[in-house]
Amino acid sequence: MSLAETKQAPNVGAATKKPVVFVDGGSGTTGLGINERLKLQGDVAVKTIADDKRKDPAAKKALMEEVDLVILCLPDDAAKETVALVDTMGASGPKVLDASTAYRVAPDWAYGFPELTPDQAGKIKAAKKVSNPGCYPTGAIALLRPIVDAGLLPQDYPVTVNAVSGYSGGGKSMIASFEDGSASSFELYGLGFEHKHLPEMQLYSNLTRRPIFIPSVGNYRQGMLVSVPLQLDTLPGKPTGADLQAALAKRYAGSKYVSVMPLQNEATKSGRIEPEALNETNMLELYVFASDKYHQAVLVARLDNLGKGASGAAVQNMRLMLGLPEE
Ligand SMILES: NC(=O)C1=CN([C@@H]2O[C@H](COP(=O)(O)OP(=O)(O)OC[C@H]3O[C@@H](n4cnc5c(N)ncnc54)[C@H](OP(=O)(O)O)[C@@H]3O)[C@@H](O)[C@H]2O)C=CC1
Ligand SMILES: CC(=O)N[C@@H](CCC(=O)OP(=O)(O)O)C(=O)O
């Protein structure tokens, strides 16, 4: 039985027995990406709100009475306001999937990275409230958690995470500043050591020491690389790049959206990677670049900040929460 049937949502879903979804913040960068993806989902019905009512709490609440799931694509404060509305609805309220930073480390929310551990997809499926991960943490956690779990990286290791994102990562205002030429063509930021992604990056990587995180933004629209340099002879057991690649490959074996790429080393003569190759997909690629000669490695994650880093992940989580099969 679909969720729409159990809730008897009459207006959109009942005739077709499709679960019904509302995207709050549907005209922002992430919201538009989700709406585009939802157009391709034949087994989900979407309810929309009139443009002049999209910030009206009463109108939102009335609409949420009729849906199975609300996806929040809002600034943190607005996301908290909608969650407060849902909380007043009790058991009749919809499930919530929040794309903001507001609840990513909240203990009563499930973290929406289904590939985090073998049981995470089940937790997302069972949860009433799920937080969609940040784009950078998606890459960093995907690289770090399996090697921490495997005992290859100590939990208190002094981890540094470097990253570059396309400017769409900053939402409508950053897009405008790059497209009108007022932004500089490249910059490092997060140099105050307080980037909003650090808490989730540390918590779900299972690190006891706060990483140093140095993001940057470049003059291209979307796509990102997240990288973690490692001095291999400082790690317990002095693992090789092949050991790290094997631990990643083991964790993500059979994953539809996370691909662990072959080891890149002196023999493969590679040494370059660009950020845009996965744009418009929900894919995440993980690489180990390693030197046996110097006992050094750099782990690299490549993803679309608007795909697996936002809207693609949201649709993946939505399908889990609605009990629908993977796309
Ligand atoms: N861009 C990205 O790569 C990613 C963004 N996110 C997160 O998604 C959320 C949205 O970000 P993003 O799409 O980039 O931001 P945008 O600035 O592009 O869009 C935000 C949208 O929310 C609308 N909005 C603001 N307040 C309300 C409200 N009270 N009710 C309804 N709509 C409202 C805005 O409308 P208006 O402009 O009229 O105020 C705007 O359309 C943020 O929390 C962000 O952290 C998550 C992952 C990646
Ligand atoms: C380039 C840029 O500014 N990126 C944003 C992160 C975008 C993102 O995905 O963050 P949320 O998921 O938490 O919104 C930033 O660093 O704040």
Whether pLDDT at 11 is above 50 = no
12-54 pLDDT per residue, tens? 444 558 999 999 999 898 899 899 999 999 999 999 999 999 9
Instruction: Find the ligand nearest to 52 CA.
Output: 1
- Alpha-carbon torsion, ordered 200, 100, 315, 64, to 10 deg: 130
Q: Tell me the CA–centroid distance for residue 218 and ligand 1, in Å.
A: 20
Q: Tell me the CA–centroid distance for residue 222 and ligand 1, in Å.
A: 16
Q: Tell me the CA–centroid distance for residue 176 and ligand 1, in Å.
A: 14
Whether pLDDT at 7 is above 60 = no
pLDDT value, residue 17 = 81
> Tokens standing for 9?
């949502």
140-162 pLDDT per residue, tens? 999 999 999 999 999 999 999 99
pTM to 2 decimals? 0.93
Q: What percent of the chain has pLDDT above 90?
A: 91
Instruction: Find the ligand nearest to 170 CA.
Output: 2
C-beta of residue 227 within 8 angstroms of C-beta of residue 163: yes
Residue 72 makes CB contacts below 8 A (sequence gap 6+) with 24, 25, 78, 79, 82, 83, 96, 97, 98, 99, 100
Residue 295 neighbours by CB distance under 10 Å: 17
Nearest CA to ligand 1 atom 20: 28
pLDDT value, residue 16 = 54
C-beta of residue 315 within 8 angstroms of C-beta of residue 30: no
How large is the angle between the packed helices 57-64 and 76-88, nearest 10 degrees? Answer: 50
Residue 175's φ and ψ, nearest 5 degrees, are -60, -45
pLDDT value, residue 138 = 98
Nearest CA to ligand 1 atom 25: 74
Residues designated catalytic: 135
Nearest CA to ligand 1 atom 32: 25
**In this predicted complex, what is the ipTM?**
0.94
306-317 pLDDT per residue, tens? 999 999 999 999
86-107 pLDDT per residue, tens? 999 999 999 999 999 999 999 9
